[in-house]
Amino acid sequence: MDFLRITQSPKLQGEVQISGAKNSALPILTSTLLSKNPLKIHNLPNVADVNTLLKLLGILGAEHEKFSANHIYIDTSGVKETKATYDIVRKMRASILVLGPLLARFGHCEVSLPGGCAIGARPVDLHIKAMEKMGAEIVIENGYIVAKAPSGLKGANIVFDKITVTGTENVLMAAALAKGKTTIINAAKEPEVVQLCEILQEGGVQIVGIGSSELEITGSDGELLDMKDIKVIADRIEAGTYLCAGAITNSCITLKSLIPHHLQAVIEKLEEIGFGFEIGEDSLKLLPAKKLQAFEVRTAEYPAFPTDMQAQFMALAMQCEGVSSIEERLFENRFMHVSELQRLGANITLRGNIASVSGGAELKGADVMATDLRASSALVLAGLIAQGETNIHRIYHLDRGYEKLEDKLISLGAKVERLREE
Ligand code: EPZ
């Protein structure tokens, strides 16, 4: 297995290109099951989760061709199989995103329950309840969601008890082919959900309320969509992670090919800590801080501070003067990075879902273990400032969501190498 060796790095400098958003690419890929015609997808991030989903779609019968690592042509007209098996779903829980489109197009499907992951139980009860509201008969058998809607799905009023990103996306895709109108109350508003709405709308689906928490979708009553070629939006979490790499080393770096507006909450928090910005149309320049102030942050749904940036800010808090407080409100176990950061010397105390980080502790490189995608990015950031060498193991977690991570960090001047365990 590979591991990353990170040596305490000098200030970073230069530019980094942001890739397409993993969390937009995944629903976009499953939405192609709704398309009557093949289509091109541009700016697709070449990360493990996207390649796993392409493998699943291939098993179902879809065909795709790669023009380059980031541009594909996909044709789902040959899809006949509607069973998403455990061996694939367990590797990538967002495979649950085939539930809505398969059910809407074929009237039946079997999708392995994704099961939990390091950050929490990750139930899909809200997805299932919504599909049942739209007329599906669903039973859970031998760890599979077995769903049937022989006479097709019908529009319904869906009120989500909790805001769920992939839950909203599954209902959007199911409603696109349903008979009649579907309303979603308490819908997720993440930019990735907005892009899915936009591509369905370009495919002929009438959607009202895009970007709001109340969506109204008029379905095509089983008619497949005339979907157009797609360019995946930039990855705001990858961008936020590189901002934290610049911030933790108090450097001046520039991010290119991103959408600054999607990072409002992260930019505001970094300004509060002491950083400045030069904001361009699709670029963002981080200006170093005179002093890094401790901060308070609590994670919440978009447009508030994203849970996917919580671990990275915990690493940054180690450099801030004073005691920072970080409250995780979405997931019940998203502090797996704490014990690993403590191995480097971090001074962090946990009280329930609140972490207090005393900045200024001396950090010494050590062997640490990645546990989930964003926790592992926090370890990379910490490795940039810890004395000596930090070896990060199980970096397959990183490869799930960060394209060419070490190349991009090296281009900014970081000392990073990917090695193989003996
Ligand atoms: C999406 O996960 C993202 N993944 C996650 O990013 C992100 O952390 C999360 O949204 C929150 O922003 C993708 O988009 C592929 P949720 P998702 O359903 O949709 C509870 C990353 O690092 N819930 O919005 O699975 C759930 O337990 C990943 O890129 C239910 O109770 O998250 C959680 O507490 C990690 N029942 C809350 O809702 C359900 O049926 C939000 O979960 C569904 C969710």
DSSP letters, 206-239, are EEESTTSSEEEEE--TTPPB-PPPEEPPB-HHHH
pTM: 0.97
Q: Is 311 in the pocket of ligand 1 (CB under 6 A)?
A: no
CA 44: distance to chain centroid? 13
| CA of residue 164 to ligand 1 center, whole Å | 6
Write the CB contacts of 321 (distance below 8 Å, at least 6 apart in sequence): 291, 292, 293, 294, 359, 360
Respond yes or no on whether the N-terminal peptide bond of residue 27 is cis (omega within 30° of 0): no
Helices (H), 332-390: 336-343, 373-385
Which residues are known to be catalytic? 117
Please indicate whether residue 53, judged by its CB atom, sits closer than 6 Å to ligand 1.
no
Tokens 């009120």 correspond to 159
Query: How far is it between the farthest Cα atoms of the chain?
Result: 64
Which amino acid is it at 359? Answer: G
Residue 23 beta carbon below 6 angstroms from any ligand 1 atom: yes
Distance of CA 131 to the CA centre of its chain: 23
Distance 122 CA to ligand 1 centre (A): 7
Q: What is the predicted pLDDT for the residue at 410?
A: 97
53's tokens: 């989903």
Segment holding 416, helix H or strand E: strand 415-420
Hey, what are 114's tokens?
Answer: 């994704």
Q: Among 50, 92, 7, 40, which Cα is nearest to 238's?
A: 50
Model pLDDT, residue 18: 98
Q: Is the CB of 116 under 6 A from ligand 1?
A: no
Indicate whether residue 376 lines ligand 1 (CB < 6 A). Answer: no
365 lines ligand 1 (CB under 6 A): no
Q: What is the pLDDT of residue 332?
A: 87
Q: How many CB atoms lie within 10 A of CB 293?
A: 14
Is residue 408 exposed (0-12), middle (13-18) or buried (19+ Cβ within 10 Å)?
Answer: buried
The protein residue whose alpha carbon is closest to atom 9 in ligand 1 is 165
Are the beta carbons of 225 and 173 closer than 8 angstroms? no
Query: Given this model, what pLDDT does residue 365 score?
Result: 97
DSSP single-letter state for residue 262: G
Nearest CA to ligand 1 atom 4: 23
| Protein residue with least CA distance to atom 43, ligand 1 | 124
Residue pLDDT tens, the chain, 422 long:
899 999 999 799 999 999 999 999 999 999 999 999 999 999 999 999 999 999 999 999 999 999 999 999 999 999 999 999 999 898 888 999 999 999 999 999 999 998 767 788 788 999 999 999 999 999 999 999 999 999 999 999 999 999 999 999 999 999 999 999 999 999 999 999 999 999 999 999 999 999 999 999 999 999 999 999 999 999 999 999 999 999 999 999 999 999 999 999 999 999 999 999 999 999 999 999 999 999 999 999 999 999 999 999 999 999 999 999 999 999 988 999 999 999 999 999 999 999 999 999 999 999 999 999 999 999 999 999 999 999 999 999 999 999 999 999 999 999 999 999 87
Nearest atom in ligand 1 to the alpha carbon of residue 49 is: 15
> Is residue 333 within 8 Å of residue 118, measured between CB atoms?
yes
The pLDDT, as a whole number, for residue 117 is 76
Distance 93 CA to ligand 1 centre (A): 10
Predicted local confidence at residue 267, as pLDDT: 98
